[in-house]
A and B are shown apart, each in its own frame.
Chain A
Amino acid sequence: MPEVLSAPLIVEFPFTRSTGPVIGAFLTGLRERVVLGIRGSDGRVLCPPAEYDPVDAAELSELVRLPDTGTVTAWAWNPHPRPHQPLATPFAWALVRLDGADTALLHVLDAPPPDPDDPRATRTGLRVRIRWAEERSGAITDIACFEPAAEEPQP
């Protein structure tokens, strides 16, 4: 029985993609520290924006400027960040519905782990705001993460 051979295999590529007008506009906004949603056929605001309406497939084009603040609609506390993830210290994955949007954006939340006694700790309903990356290039990582917003918690 020969020894089991093995060798490292690294697959790495600098993927460059065209963005199209809607994603291009969204990423342009992020570079300028502005979050954009898009209005769907039924009037609901989608963020992140979609090129086509998820229900009737209509081409969408009405961008909506949204504030930097929102509410956590779901979270998952990650005690062991993995390679390439946005933060190197423990953080929460979060779905955040920005104020004025009707859908939620997935990103990371730099906040204390769940703790019923800490109003700034990770939980559904937490009010959060964007922490922008210092260097921005037009990518989802222009949002470095979310952090607890310094305001009264919403019910």
Chain B
Amino acid sequence: MTTPTERDVAVVAFAQTAHRRSTDQLSEVELVLPVLQDVLKQTGLTTEQIGFTCSGSSDYLAGRAFSFTMTLDGVGAWPPISESHVEMDGAWALYEAWVKLRTGQADTALVYSYGKSSPGSVRDVLTRQLDPYTLAPLWPDAIALAALQAQTLIDAGQADERALADTAVRSRRAARDNPHAQLRGSADADDLLALPYEVQPLRRHDCPPVSDGAAAVILAVGDAARALHPRPAWIRGIDHRIEAHQPGSRDLTGSPSTRLAAVHAGAFDARVDTAELHAPFTAQELILRRALDLGDAVVVNPSGGALAANPVMAAGLIRIGEAAARIHRGESRRALAHATSGPCLQQNLIAVLEGEK
């Protein structure tokens, strides 16, 4: 959908932590610093040379308002920098940086995000994002909401518990090749299906791990990108759409916002070989595959996806980073990356990435 111009934006560097259940020995900035230094080292850039910095995180994970301001210490923001923050997944911080670059306000951008989920109970913390009058007072946790969505899929005949288990097995076995993933490998589907429900119809394997982790990406435009990486991962299109908030007013078996974002990002203009989907719950991957018309020829979540590591607020940025890294390595020519936000896939972002032809 976009016409190539000298302001095409590419991912030229990506780094992530080894995601773990808990990082008690590290503060948030101590967790983030290594990935920031990694992407700067990959590109040889210093903070002074970066035109715009944007981060994505949620203070609710820490339970401390404005905790995100302290992770900015890791950037070394002196002399003062042009900087922004979104209280969202870093994929949306990347979107904001992309806008800055496309509109000529900067030529390079540093995007980082992190989620230290371990201090609280993340499935309960996430209830605070819900409508404060009708939903939050009932405390429907993240697994409960995902379970409702999964049941609608089963009721509609579009999935069964085995299909969900197969998704979990496939994702975590793919993660054996991903040294950053938290869950690497999986028992057989039959063994998993013998285990009790967390919230029916979801079992533990249908749910993401609780992870602490961080990720960073560097973006650059045109010739600056070509100077920073031999094979930049060009963002050919990026778009995000949001649906109504009330789960009862949506058809939870589909994802029209994902589809619309994909259309506007040009995802359907040519075939993709790889798709990194931000689906923390197994049923959500099935919904997204259908919304994006992903056939068997597409490699889905070679990284293992959010089922293998789910640092909340970074997992979406990591999908973009993983897709870009595959293009950098020549393992992919054209890839989709997806990120989600809100209950039951309420809001979705699609990025289309390509290597130079």
Contact = CB atoms under 8 A, between A and B. Distances in A.
Q: Verify whether A and B have any Cβ pair under 8 Å.
A: yes
A78 interface: yes
Given A15-B132, A75-B148, A4 B197 contact: no
Interface bracket on A: 35 or more
A74 B139 contact: no
B140 A106 contact: yes
Interface stretch (B70-78, B233-241, B246-254): B246-254
Given A4-B24, A97-B248, A106-B247, A140 B138 contact: yes
B148 A93 contact: yes
B227 interface: no
B5 interface: no
Contact of A103 (B124, B152, B248): B248
B135 A124 contact: no
A79 B144 CA distance: 11
B152 A106 contact: no
Nearest to B150: A76
A74 B152 contact: yes
Interface stretch (A58-66, A81-89, A126-134): A81-89
Contacts of A36: none
B316 interface: no
A24 B197 CA distance: 38
B133 A4 contact: no
Interface in B134-193: 134-135, 137-141, 144-145, 147-152, 155
A-B pairs, top 3 by smallest CB distance, nearest first, are A104-B248, A76-B147, A77-B200
Interface of B: 24-25, 63-64, 119, 124, 132-135, 137-141, 144-145, 147-152, 155, 196-197, 199-202, 244, 246-249, 252
